[in-house]
Structure 1
Amino acid sequence: MDVITMGETMVLFTPTKEGMLRYANQFEKTYGGAEMNVAIALARLNHEVAWISKVGNDEFGKGITAYIRGEGVDTSQVLVDEEAPTGVFFKEIRRADDMRIHYYRKGSAASKLNATDVNEDFVSNAKYVHISGITPALSDSAEEAIWQLISIAKKHEIPIVFDPNVRKKLWSESKARQVLTNIAKEATIVMPGVAEGKFLFNEDDPKKIAEKFIGNGAKLVITKVGADGAYYTSKDEHVHVPGIKVDRVVDPVGAGDGFAAGFLSGQLDSLSVYESVKRANLVGALATMVKGDVEGMPEKEELLKYSQDTFEDVSR
């Protein structure tokens, strides 16, 4: 198995027209979740990836599992909770530059994840473990599941890739800072955005953010700076990788997950760190050009046909 990730996928309802959610009468039903986005993006890039989660014994849970499995992701570690429901959320598009997310996930099946749900024999065969900061925010037991996953990865010397993915609506800011910085101490690679660096360390300079994570224990930090691309930082270097110019962002949701998948794909394909971040920028850019969380994630053949000649390098 190339990558294993764990987290919640919910049913996503998006109004068919812009405006306040109260006036919406028709919706499109899709699925959304950061870890699912990463898993599907990796599967489309021809990597073996597994998703660990829990869903409700309901039509939404069955639909999610079938959908993700249909995308080529291993769902053998997805459990069914007989009592808790599958989570739901709504995307409210008030106008092109004002999108709001409304979650209905408290007490969901995925929030019932616990340490015993993580199978050591299964995880031990992974090349990478991907963790999002969303999962430990779901509940105390979900946080315990994350720590179990971390423990197994450390025991078997599996690199841990951590995206802090701060969700303030899910827990208090003080607990979020404590838990996320503790997880970052155990991570091999950390992928924060500037806003997350500001939240965790009160720093908004990419180099200073990276230095905080390096000092915390990470070997490599990749700091995302939006359209300008990203910086990768280790103890020995701090390098900027220019972003990809996108003329029109259709939907920014999923861009960070595409970025994570692109980087992991590059590493699995034995690319350099620079080329892996370059691929991450490209996958993230492509994700923003299509409506939906995963609909814009490219397949391998499609990805390889693009080059910096196709999308303008924003450093020019």
Structure 2
Amino acid sequence: MPEFDLVTFGEPMALLLAGGDVPLPNARDFVLQVAGAESNLATGLARLGHRVGYFGRVGADNFGERIRRELRAEGIDVSALISDPERPTGLLIRDSPQAAPITVEYRRAASAATALSPDDLPVDLLTATRWLHVTGITAVLSESALAATITAMTIAAEAGATVSLDPNVRLRLAEADRWSTIVGRLAGYAKIILTGRDESELISPGIPAQRWYADRGAEIVVVKDGGNGSTEYHCATGQSVHGGVRTVSAVDSVGAGDAFNTGWISSWLSGAATTTAADAELRLHTGSVVASMVVATRGDTPGLPNRPTLDRVLGRGADVDR
């Protein structure tokens, strides 16, 4: 058996989350957490009992050390996480007000992660995993990071791993045309696509996501559509399965997509790995449940459940654990 259930990589950032419901310009206190699409996923899967490896680059600074320590504490293998003595750890500052749009600011230009290159890839991790998950965020950071992403996907696929892609479009990092070009290149190396409807319309305007990705070799395309639920498309048969949402009082919507990916992939890794409608429904439902638990809390990862908690929610167990 491979050593890891899943390996992922990217830019883990220090998150300064404004306290309470105060908008960012008026915030006086902040909570320090770890953020990043890929590290969120790694944390979620590790809490659910999966064997997870994570790599990338952080600065040889206090933020980088905090990230390394917290990911390791979650049970994630970070032995291949590089500390760069010349470049800083990326920083994300945001708020989560209830009565106004969320404001997000980045300090990631020339960060350690932008220097990721094929030479940094831990081949031993990439050839010892059942699954590799990547996002477009890492690939758009720099040309060397794009080359590293494509090389990692190639190595893992050739070793027999399932490769998934979430475009995770961030228009602060690049224009829509640039995203379309990069995601189009990455899509040819992934069999499973997990995308949001809004971003799919930016990447392939006028063309349904399932068709655009199927033309590039995808076998399964999952389209996440917020409060409208999610739909899983099976490209070979044209079948589709729709899943609803678990309704909760939303506190902070950031991290919902990563949480959905966590539940969906965990369900697959745990045995729901066929293209039957029953397995698809379970994957979509599990993704929805994990996402609901994250949006009901502040921050990207505090709401991510452990396995007993998720099983209790999926099984509709008691609301109070006494």
TM-score (norm 2): 0.91
Structure 2 CA distance, aligned partners of 1:97 and 1:305?
33
**Quick check: 1:269 aligned with 2:270?**
yes
Aligned to 1:43: 46
> Residues 241 and 278 of structure 1 are in contact (CA less than 8 Å); yes or no, is this contact kept in structure 2?
no
Is the partner of 1:191 in helix, strand or coil? strand
1:141 match: 144
Alignment of 1:161 with 2:164, yes or no, is yes
Greater CA deviation, 266-275 or 291-300?
A: 266-275
Structure 2 vs 1, CA of residues 198 and 282 (structure 1 numbering), >3 Å: closer, same or farther? same
Counterpart for residue 275 of structure 2: none
Instruction: Choose 171-180 or 289-298, whichever is displaced more.
Output: 171-180
Contact 1:226 1:243 in 2 (8 A): no
Gaps of 5+ in 1: 311-316
TM-superposed deviation, 1:245: 3.2
Alignment match, 1:294: 301
Per the alignment, residue 115 of structure 2 pairs with 112
Distance in 2 (CA, whole Å) between partners of 1:156 and 1:19 is 48
| 1:60 aligned partner | 63
For structure 2, the residue ranges without an aligned partner over 5 or more in a row are 273-278, 318-322
Counterpart for residue 101 of structure 2: 98
Q: Give the counterpart of 1:150 among 143, 150, 153.
A: 153
Matches within 5 A, 1:12-51: 12-51=15-54
Paired with 2:15 and 2:155, the residues of 1 have a C-alpha distance of 32
Aligned-residue CA RMSD in angstroms? 1.8
In structure 2, how many angstroms separate the alpha carbons of the residues matched to 1:39 and 1:247? 24
Q: Kindly provide the CA deviation profile for residues 252-272 of structure 1, in whole angstroms up to 9, marking residues without a partner as x.
A: 111111111111111111112
Shift in Å, 1:20: 4.2
Match of 2:7 in 1: 4
The equivalent of 2:257 in structure 1 is 256
Q: Which residue of 2 aligns with 1:239?
A: 240
Question: Pairwise mapping of residues 65-214 of structure 1 onto structure 2 (< 5 A)?
Answer: 65-93=68-96, 95-203=98-206, 208-214=208-214
Residue 257 of structure 2 aligns with an amino acid whose one-letter code is: G
Cα distance, 1:306 vs structure 2:
1.1
For 2:266, give the aligned amino acid: S
User: Structure 2 counterpart of 1:112, which letter?
Assistant: A
